[in-house]
């Protein structure tokens, strides 16, 4: 019984395969018949129509890409034009305050009131600059020179100061979003030679300078 069932299954599979092959042959034959039914003029017209459709699709795609490029270009241009709009709005009160101070200076006003107004204006400006990421670089006297943040304008001999330490800040520096845009301009102490140290010690016996240092 099992052998007969296997034979029936094999016969059924052969039958299904033959049926599928027959359908494929009929489809191919139908396509060949259709192609044979078209005259050369009709085949040429069909090819031209397909080429025209493809060309139209290409033109539409190209136009869409061009429109997208123009929109992106316009958006970038607007971003450049109005990127500082909020910053300008924060600075406008500073200008108003300065103009009010100048108007008050033309009248008889106490110096203390003018100073108070200038302090207020400065605080407003500092607050506006800090909002956009501007940080002031103002080193302390005696601080070690940092070449990444400070720029030495000159060097002076100072027996009581360590070499390469800041003696004076000529101009504050600034960084924008952790990027240095202007270093602090400083004057630094010059390292003294042994001869200079000895001469300074002779002039100031109580200075406590060690000649071996």
Question: Is residue 174 predicted with pLDDT exceeding 90?
Answer: yes
Report the candidate in 149, 150, 135, 132 with the shortest Cα–Cα distance to residue 188.
150
16-32 CB burial, b ≥16 within 10 A, e <16: eeeeeeeeeeeeeeeee
- Residues in contact with 153: Cβ distance below 8 Å, sequence separation at least 6, in sequence order: 170, 185, 186, 187
Dump pLDDT digits (tens) for 16-50: 555 555 555 555 555 444 545 678 888 888 888 88
CATH architecture of 136-213: Roll (2.30)
Dump pLDDT digits (tens) for 94-113: 889 888 888 777 766 677 88
Q: What is residue 168's three-state secondary structure?
A: strand
Cβ–Cβ under 8 Å, residues 164 and 145: yes
52 or 183, higher pLDDT: 183
Residue 25 belongs to what H/E stretch? helix 2-37
Average pLDDT of the chain, as a whole number: 78
Dump pLDDT digits (tens) for 64-84: 999 999 999 888 888 877 777
Tell me the Cα Rg of the chain: 44
Domain boundaries, the chain: 2-66, 84-132, 136-213
């Amino acid at each position: 019984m099992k052998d007969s069932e296997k034979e029936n299954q094999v016969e059924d599979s052969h039958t299904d395969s033959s049926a599928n092959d027959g359908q494929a042959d009929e489809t191919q034959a139908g396509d060949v018949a259709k192609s044979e039914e078209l005259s050369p003029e009709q085949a040429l017209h069909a090819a031209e129509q397909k080429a025209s459709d493809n060309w139209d699709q290409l033109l539409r795609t190209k136009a869409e890409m061009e429109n997208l490029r123009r929109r992106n270009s316009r958006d970038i241009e607007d971003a450049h034009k109005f990127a500082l709009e909020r910053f300008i709005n924060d600075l406008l009160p500073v200008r108003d305050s300065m103009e009010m101070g100048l108007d008050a200076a033309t009248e008889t006003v106490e110096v203390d009131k003018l100073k108070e107004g200038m302090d207020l204006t400065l605080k407003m400006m500092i607050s506006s600059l800090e909002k956009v990421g501007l940080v002031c670089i103002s080193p302390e006297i005696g601080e070690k020179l940092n070449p990444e943040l400070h720029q030495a304008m000159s060097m002076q001999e100072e027996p009581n100061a360590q070499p390469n330490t800041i003696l004076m800040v000529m101009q504050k520096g600034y960084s924008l979003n952790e990027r240095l845009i202007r270093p602090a301009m400083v004057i630094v102490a010059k390292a003294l030679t042994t001869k200079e140290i000895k001469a300074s010690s002779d002039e100031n016996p109580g200075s406590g300078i060690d000649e071996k240092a």
